[in-house]
Amino acid sequence: MPTDATATSSSWDEWTTDQLDLDAYLNRIGHTGPRTADAATLAALHRAHVAAIPFENLDVILGRGISVALPDVQRKLVDARRGGYCYEHGLLFAAVATRLGFTAQRLLARVGDLERPRPRTHLVTVLTDPGGEAWLADPGFGSGLLTPLPLRADAEATQGAWTYRLRRLDDGRWQLQEAAAGEAWLPLYAFEIAVYHAVDVEMSNHFTSTWPGSPFVQRPVVVRKDEHAVRRLVGRQLTVLRPGRPDEVRDVEAAELGAVLHDLGVDLTPDEIGILGRPA
């Protein structure tokens, strides 16, 4: 287990993992396999989560805001079969892993390179099994990991058309990097092993979902990824990215927005689609 910083033991569970309906979550992602705290189960859960639950910020654009309280996250992503963005995905997956016997460290990361640091606006999770093996789990980046990555410096893993590695920086931080189709390594985000609390996640979520300069406040974002492609709806522009091939980009007409959202795994009411379809 990473030991740079650990939380003090307490009977109080600030992450409210006891409120998770594990059976409902597993049904949502279609997982019928083992419920054990091992690498194979973790990989299967992570991959099924990414396949079943979209990355999306639509409640921000619809004026509802985002709650990071676990019961609210479960009602939305599991019961209502919606998607969410990083905080929602990460908190839900961390709670699931904890219930299965992993130790979860919820960490805030800086997206992009480190030359001009951005705020810590992304949630990742380091999960450690009972034997001490640790992985970076992150089903909520949208276009990132399909399965967890061992928390080991310079270990590379190919996932579909993409290859990932973790670098240990001189200052001790970890950086996740991605490469595809012979391209150079691209830094996705950096994080450090430290103690974060639920209130830290609440503050980061509030900033990300309300600050006028946040990309998630400005326009709708929906992302789906599989082993071959990333499909990304940003505003009314739909892009399909396949490594080694030209990007496919087209504008989505208001009349087809509901169908496009459905294809990306999000079903909304006609009124909600109408709000999203309004000119910017």
The catalytic position among 31, 46, 89, 122 is: 122
CB atoms within 10 A of CB 113: 14
Q: Give catalytic status of residue 138 as yes or no.
A: yes
Let me know if 46 is a catalytic residue: no
Within 8 A by CB and 6+ apart from 255, the residues are none
Torsion over CA: 63, 66, 71, 75 (sign): positive
- Which of 46, 59, 86, 129 is the catalytic position? 86
Q: Which residue has the tokens 């007409």?
A: 253
In 3D, which of 232, 241, 280 has the Cα closest to residue 260? 232
3-state SS assignment for residue 263: helix
Q: Choose, from 49, 59, 89, 138, the residue flagged as catalytic.
A: 138
Which residue, chain included where needed, has tokens 């990304």?
Answer: 232
Q: Reply yes or no on whether 122 is catalytic.
A: yes
Smallest Cα–Cα separation from 92: which of 112, 131, 66? 66
Residues known to be catalytic: 86, 122, 138
